[in-house]
Amino acid sequence: MRRLSLVAALALAGCPAAAPSRTTELRDPAVSDRDDGRGRLARELETEVRASYLRAGLDAAAAAAIIDPAVGLVAIGVGPSDLVVGPVASGRWPVTAVAGRPTAVVSRALEVHVADDESLGWAYDEATLELPVCGRVAAIPLRVFQVYARDADRWTLVAEHVAYAQAMGRWLDAAVRADGTKLPDAVEQQPDAVAARDVIAMAISPDGDRAATWDDAADALAVWPDPLQVLRGGATRLGPSLAASLEATAVSVDGVRLALGPTRQTAFASTTLLAHTVRADASGERAVDVRLRATFVLEHRGGDATAWRVRAAMVSVPITAGALVGRTVGMSATMSQDGVATVSCPQ
């Protein structure tokens, strides 16, 4: 018996040690920053923005549940009268169908941003509206700016601004008056909201202190109506001002709807602006006031009311849907009130 034990011991001593057990962790290769909550929020925001392009309308009730309902959801469209406060059942896009065939919005250069406190997010996209026209697909370039508030587990759209970039020289030469609808005022009844409104007024004024009102973070953004004027980072303070881009002697807030974000450290505003310009023509110089539309996102950067800074803004001028189709597609179109275009195809 003792000999058998000795043989067994020697046999065991000659065998290699058992390899330690290994546990293979299953990890999704598509998720590279599993612990980056901010990155997750940005990805969720991007998904929501792309999904929103497929919807015919906008949900005002959801917006009123997360921001001041007295301010509510605001949707700014391309046309002179495309300013909606409250529910948007349809008509978000300047053209919804051509000869019974629906149009489609395609994202081309989407960028999303999340506020430092993660309570607000915004997106800017250079998209195209694709129209089936006479056996081909025509594309209308659009700018889309959206603002979202963060609820417990989702992003909710609270402001949208759709625009068509236009060369300001030609547009201003043709302007004769302040066309378009004025946005009715509604500012959240909080001192911080009033301070944010005052910062916007200073940020767009020709003699305003841009260093004190515009953020110069790397993702700061200012989009002026001209297609060549998109300012980023420090250029929001040092590049051409809105007044300079319009050759305006005065720019003021004409109507504003402003609400604070869920944490009150962020704010956003939908506005109409009034710019005073002087144009020269064959009869000499003439003064003309023009109305613009704008959307702003602000963040609070310090402990006092003057510490609001504009993080992002988009300003636009309107164009009718018929003129838009004619300018971009190259043929005249008859437009219905619900955005359906009728065109005559060449034989």
More confident residue, 305 or 7: 305
In a domain, 78, yes or no: yes
**pLDDT at position 35 over 70:** no
**What value does the mean pLDDT take over residues 315-340?**
88
Instruction: List the domain range (segments joined by +) for residue 173.
Output: 37-328
Q: What per-residue confidence (pLDDT) applies to 23?
A: 52
Q: Which residues pair with 132 in a beta bridge?
A: 137
* CA 110 – CA 43 distance, rounded (Å): 12
Q: How confident is the model at residue 135 (pLDDT cuts 50, 70, 90)?
A: confident
Q: What per-residue confidence (pLDDT) applies to 4?
A: 43
**pLDDT at position 31 over 50:** no
Q: What per-residue confidence (pLDDT) applies to 90?
A: 80
In a domain, 141, yes or no: yes
* CA 74 – CA 88 distance, rounded (Å): 9
Q: Find the range with the poorest average confidence among 113-122, 156-165, 174-183.
A: 174-183
Q: Is the dihedral of CA 111, 186, 236, 220 positive or negative?
A: negative
In a domain, 32, yes or no: no
Q: What is the CATH number of the domain that holds 307?
A: 3.10.450.50
- Give Cβ neighbours of residue 226 (< 8 Å, ≥ 6 apart): 165, 166, 167, 168, 245
- Tell me, yes or no, if the pTM score tops 0.85: yes
Q: What per-residue confidence (pLDDT) applies to 2?
A: 46
**Closest to 150 in 3D by CA, of 265, 295, 304:** 265
In a domain, 123, yes or no: yes
**Closest to 96 in 3D by CA, of 342, 347, 345, 344:** 342
Q: What per-residue confidence (pLDDT) applies to 10?
A: 43
In a domain, 23, yes or no: no
284: left (phi over 0), alpha (psi -120 to 50) or beta: left
Angle at alpha carbon of residue 9, lines to 4 and 11, rounded to 5°: 95
> Cα dist. 234→286, 314, 319 in Å?
35, 16, 30
* DSSP sequence for 99-126: TTEEPEEE-SS-EEEE-TTSSEEEEEEE
Mean pLDDT of the chain: 89
* CA 221 – CA 236 distance, rounded (Å): 7
Percent pLDDT > 90 in the chain is 70
More confident residue, 282 or 226: 226
Q: What per-residue confidence (pLDDT) applies to 22?
A: 53
In a domain, 29, yes or no: no
For the chain, the domain total comes to: 1
At 47-79, the pLDDT tens digits run 999 999 999 899 999 999 999 999 999 999 999
Answer for the pair 300, 307: CB distance below 8 angstroms, yes or no: yes
Q: Find the range with the poorest average confidence among 30-39, 206-215, 283-292.
A: 30-39
In a domain, 242, yes or no: yes
Q: What per-residue confidence (pLDDT) applies to 100?
A: 85
9 φ/ψ angles, rounded to the nearest 5 degrees: -65, -40
In a domain, 342, yes or no: no
